């Protein structure tokens, strides 16, 4: 009996790759991960990363990390480092790091070959002229409500220049003899092609920008279509996996490689990941950062990898999420609840349990000796016995959660109220006797009596209480700030909306008066902690020993909150 490890890549990709191996198109597998270094990675990128990585892995192949740095006006080294850092944090391993710019010389040679074969020419038209001569899409598409029909493009007046003239002009473009935007090199395909991408696509444009790696050497830079496939081929990439929007580029991808008789890399597409309440548009996320709506690219409310990371989500949870949602060619929107469920599942297994009171209310145990302190045994993780136990100090005055006391309890409220008995977790059974109020009528102290026979929380007489609440000894508590996060947006699809009207003003609530059990003093940045009954938390990057700060990664499921909500609706 051999247990097969389940595949982490979708069947349609697995089968396509297997077929290429079987029929001899390739005898090895190499994939590539092609980020453009112009921003930080977000969770939408992870899916593509993982498909590339796992495809190589499953077929015993290798992965290259290749930065697509063909547009010097937008790209920066800062992002190269950040992307490498994020990808390795995820656990992705690559055989080597390359850059599209590593191939600029070879690519230029290939362009010259195409010109020599008569498949490319230099066009002197202005951008407007080129656009106008490309033809139009028919009425009904989003670009054209008024145009009545599809119109074929018309040939550029420069389309039939001689090979010699093209070669000369291309050389001079490369040498920086012409102004930016004055000329381009175009492939010579078909100006009437139904696929507009094949209407003589631009290969090179003139740019005098400074490139982060090649400096000022180049005055022409390749377009995506004249670079990506060629780089794949030059690197011996067998399978170039990308998102559905590139499907229409595939004929062009193949056209170039066929004309050049180059290594036949194969492009395969899949749908990109969409997540509700997540902003995937780089441009819009940048705006959030620039306008100060969030605190930076690593704001825990963002679904950038850095944000998720700072929030306390583990790489394993992210990988579980992406592989469990699966990959197809369907357009889809995964619910944020799905991500949260997987984060909870992951953290439930690994997080140490601790007690923390976020909104404190003083509870005084009147019959407990004034100066007595007891060390109570508390379980670190009921899901993991090997995590052991710890001691938690207990004394006469403790803090409990404001939510855990009601002077007049609503229906089905099991927590503390006058006359009711509850368990202080790992402590004692206590019964509420009376409250103390301030002048405004707010409860400032809850008074209880405890049953000394119930140390640890078990009643020898077998009596049950309906509720167990958490607490922190006032004399031993560690004070901290706790940041609670909610959805950043009020709508499911923030990429579609107008930014100003979709921001949730309550997405961050910073509680500065929280009391934590003393064991939390030893918390480190990599720790994952469950504050019992509240949620999963981790130390924030801004935290210092003098001023500890914790982030809420995700709440626990809260059936009482749900019950209350139901009561409001009905």
Partner RNA sequence: UGGGGCAUGGUGCAAUGGCAGCACACCAGCCUUUGGAGCUGUGGAUCUUGGUUCGAAUCCAGGUGCCCCAGCCA
36 catalytic residue (yes or no):
yes
Min CB(264)–RNA separation in Å: 19
Min CB(235)–RNA separation in Å: 15
Min CB(520)–RNA separation in Å: 15
Min CB(76)–RNA separation in Å: 13
Q: Which is nearer to RNA, 223 or 294 (CB)?
A: 223
Min CB(211)–RNA separation in Å: 11
Question: Quick one: which of 259, 235, 8 has its CA closest to 117?
Answer: 259
Report how far residue 534's alpha carbon sits from residue 358's, in angstroms, rounded to the nearest whole number: 9
Q: Work out whether 77 is an interface residue with RNA (CB under 7 A).
A: no
Among 77, 116, 182, 402, binds RNA (CB under 7 A): 182
Residues 438-497 that bind RNA (CB under 7 A): 456-458, 464, 467-470
Which two tokens mark 249? Answer: 């580029």
Min CB(466)–RNA separation in Å: 8
Which two tokens mark 317? Answer: 């949870």
Q: Which of 259, 272, 406, 431 is the catalytic position?
A: 272
Question: Quick one: which of 478, 539, 486 has its CA closest to 509?
Answer: 486
Q: Work out whether 52 is an interface residue with RNA (CB under 7 A).
A: no
Q: Work out whether 160 is an interface residue with RNA (CB under 7 A).
A: no
Q: Work out whether 332 is an interface residue with RNA (CB under 7 A).
A: yes
Given a contact cutoff of 8 angstroms between Cβ atoms, the answer to whether 364 and 397 are in contact is yes
128 catalytic residue (yes or no):
no
Of 41-49, 89-97, 119-127, 506-514, which segment contacts RNA by CB under 7 A? 119-127
Q: Work out whether 348 is an interface residue with RNA (CB under 7 A).
A: yes
Question: Quick one: which of 241, 242, 267 has its CA closest to 252?
Answer: 267
Q: Which is nearer to RNA, 438 or 461 (CB)?
A: 461
Task: Say what angle helices 43-58 and 77-90 make with each other, to 10 degrees.
Answer: 60
For tokens 């100003």, the residue is 500
Radius of gyration of the chain (CA): 31
Q: Which of 36, 58, 481, 486 is the catalytic position?
A: 36
Report how far residue 403's alpha carbon sits from residue 422's, in angstroms, rounded to the nearest whole number: 14
Residues 262-301 that bind RNA (CB under 7 A): 271
316 catalytic residue (yes or no):
no
Q: Work out whether 210 is an interface residue with RNA (CB under 7 A).
A: no
Given a contact cutoff of 8 angstroms between Cβ atoms, the answer to whether 53 and 63 are in contact is yes
Site size toward RNA, by CB under 7 A: 103
Residues 506-535 that bind RNA (CB under 7 A): 530, 532-533
Q: Which is nearer to RNA, 5 or 544 (CB)?
A: 5
Q: Which is nearer to RNA, 384 or 445 (CB)?
A: 384
158 Ramachandran zone, left/alpha/beta (phi>0; psi -120 to 50)? alpha
Q: Work out whether 234 is an interface residue with RNA (CB under 7 A).
A: no
Residues 368-407 that bind RNA (CB under 7 A): 381-383
Q: What are phi and psi of 349, to 5 degrees?
A: -75, -30
Distance from the Cα of residue 52 to its chain's centroid? 17
Among 175, 328, 442, 506, binds RNA (CB under 7 A): 328
Q: Work out whether 172 is an interface residue with RNA (CB under 7 A).
A: no
Residue 428 Cα distances to 84, 401, 460, 532, angstroms: 51, 16, 12, 17
Given a contact cutoff of 8 angstroms between Cβ atoms, the answer to whether 484 and 332 are in contact is no
Among 23, 148, 501, 568, binds RNA (CB under 7 A): 148
Which two tokens mark 397? Answer: 């005055």
For tokens 């070879």, the residue is 106
Q: Work out whether 228 is an interface residue with RNA (CB under 7 A).
A: yes
The DSSP code for 420 is: -
Min CB(516)–RNA separation in Å: 15
| SS3 assignment, position 348 | helix
Min CB(142)–RNA separation in Å: 6
Of 51-59, 327-335, 478-486, 542-550, which segment contacts RNA by CB under 7 A? 327-335
Q: Which of 259, 282, 359, 362 is the catalytic position?
A: 282
Report how far residue 65's alpha carbon sits from residue 80's, in angstroms, rounded to the nearest whole number: 10
Looking only at the bridges linking them, the beta strands covering 529-531 and 478-485 are unpaired
Residues carrying an active site annotation: 36, 272, 282
């Amino acid at each position: 009996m051999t247990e097969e490890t389940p595949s982490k890549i979708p069947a349609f990709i697995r089968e396509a790759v297997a077929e290429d191996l079987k029929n001899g198109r390739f005898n090895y597998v190499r994939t590539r991960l092609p980020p453009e270094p112009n921003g930080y990675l977000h969770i939408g990128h992870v899916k593509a990363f993982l498909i590339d990585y796992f495809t190589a892995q499953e077929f015993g192949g290798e992965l290259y990390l290749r930065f697509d740095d063909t547009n010097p006006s937008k790209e920066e080294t800062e992002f190269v480092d950040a992307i490498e850092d994020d990808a390795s944090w995820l656990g992705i391993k690559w055989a080597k790091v390359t850059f599209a710019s590593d191939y600029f010389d070879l690519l230029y040679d290939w362009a010259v070959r195409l010109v020599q074969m008569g498949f490319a020419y230099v066009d002197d038209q202005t951008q407007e002229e080129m656009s106008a001569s490309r033809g139009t899409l028919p009425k009904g598409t989003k670009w054209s409500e008024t145009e009545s029909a599809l119109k074929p493009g018309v040939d550029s007046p420069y389309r039939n220049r001689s090979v010699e003239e093209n070669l000369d002009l291309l050389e001079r473009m490369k040498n920086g003899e012409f102004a930016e935007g004055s000329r381009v090199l175009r492939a010579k395909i078909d100006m009437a092609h139904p696929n507009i991408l094949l209407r003589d696509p631009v290969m090179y444009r003139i740019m005098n920008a400074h490139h982060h790696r090649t400096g000022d050497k180049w005055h022409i830079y390749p377009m995506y279509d004249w670079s990506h496939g060629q780089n794949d081929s030059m690197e011996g990439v067998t399978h170039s996996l990308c998102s559905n929007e590139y499907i229409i580029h595939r004929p062009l991808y193949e056209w170039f490689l066929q004309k050049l008789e180059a290594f036949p890399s194969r492009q395969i597409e899949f749908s990109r990941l969409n997540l509700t309440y997540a902003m995937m548009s780089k441009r819009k996320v940048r705006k959030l950062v620039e306008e100060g709506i969030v605190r930076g690219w690593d704001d825990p409310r963002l679904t950038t990898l850095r944000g998720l990371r700072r929030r306390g989500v583990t790489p394993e949870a992210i990988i579980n999420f992406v592989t469990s949602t699966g990959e197809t060619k369907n357009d889809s929107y995964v619910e944020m609840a799905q991500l949260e469920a997987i984060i909870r599942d992951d953290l439930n297994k690994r997080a140490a349990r601790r007690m923390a009171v976020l909104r404190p209310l003083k509870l005084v145990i009147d019959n407990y000796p004034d100066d007595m302190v007891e060390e109570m045994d508390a379980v670190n993780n009921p899901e993991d016995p090997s995590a052991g136990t710890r001691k938690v100090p207990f004394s006469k005055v403790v803090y409990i959660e404001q939510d855990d006391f009601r002077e007049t309890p609503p229906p089905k409220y099991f927590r503390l109220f006058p006359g009711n008995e509850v368990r202080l977790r790992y402590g004692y059974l206590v019964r509420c006797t009376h409250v103390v109020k301030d002048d405004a009528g707010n409860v400032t102290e809850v008074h209880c009596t405890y049953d000394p026979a119930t140390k640890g929380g078990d009643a020898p007489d077998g009596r049950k209480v309906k509720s167990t609440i958490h607490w922190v000894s006032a004399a031993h508590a560690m004070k901290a700030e706790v940041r609670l996060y909610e959805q950043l947006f009020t709508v499911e699809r923030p990429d579609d909306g107008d930014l100003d009207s979709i921001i949730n003003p309550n997405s961050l609530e910073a509680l500065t008066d929280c009391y934590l059990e003393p064991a939390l003093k030893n918390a480190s940045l990599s720790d994952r902690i469950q504050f019992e009954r509240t949620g999963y938390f981790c130390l924030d990057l801004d935290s210092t020993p003098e001023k500890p700060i914790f982030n809420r990664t995700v709440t626990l499921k809260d059936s009482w909150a749900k019950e209350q909500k139901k009561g409001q609706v009905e």
